[in-house]
Amino acid sequence: TKGTKMNLLAATGRLGQDAKLSYTANQDAICNFSLSLTAGYGDKATTTWLNCNLWGKRAEILAPMLLKGTQIGITGEISVRGYKSKDGTEKSSLECRVGDVTLLGGKSEAGAAKPTKAADPMDSVESDIPF
C-alpha cells in the first residue's frame, strides 16, 4: 500500500564483545552489542560490524547470554547513523534495532562454551498413545 515501507534485516554472525545492558531515564532496558557479518571466503572474506540494540524484557533476559564469540541470528530494522568523530570528521555507523535473537552456538575459540540443545517441551508430557 501507499506509504508502507519495509526495512528488515536477517543476519547471522559472532558477537565482537560481551553485550552491555543499561537503562534509559525511564527505566527501559537496552542491550547493546556488536555483531560481525562476514561475506566471502578465504583471502576474499570481508567483515562488516553491525551495532545492535535490543530493548525491553528480552534485553534483560538475553544480555547475560550474549558473550563475545557467541554465534547468533538476528532480525530487525537496519539504519545508518551519522556522527562526528573526536577529530571532527563525519563518520557513519551501521545499526540494527533488533526484533528477534536466535542463539546459534558457543564461542569460536578452542575450549570455549559449546552450544547446548534446548529441551524439548514435549519431553515432560506423558502420553497414553500406544505407538
pLDDT tens for 11-68 read 999 999 999 999 999 999 999 999 999 999 899 999 999 999 999 999 999 999 999 9
Which of residues 108 and 43 earns the better pLDDT score? 43
pLDDT of residue 101: 95
Neighbours of 29 (CB within 10 A): 17
Please state, for a pLDDT cut of 90, what percent of the chain lies above it. 64
pLDDT of residue 7: 85
Q: Are 115 and 47 in contact (CB under 8 A)?
A: no
Beta bridge partners of 53: 32, 97
Residue 76 has pLDDT above 50, yes or no: yes
Sequence-distant (≥ 6) Cβ neighbours of residue 115 within 8 angstroms: 103, 104, 105, 106
Average pLDDT, the chain: 83
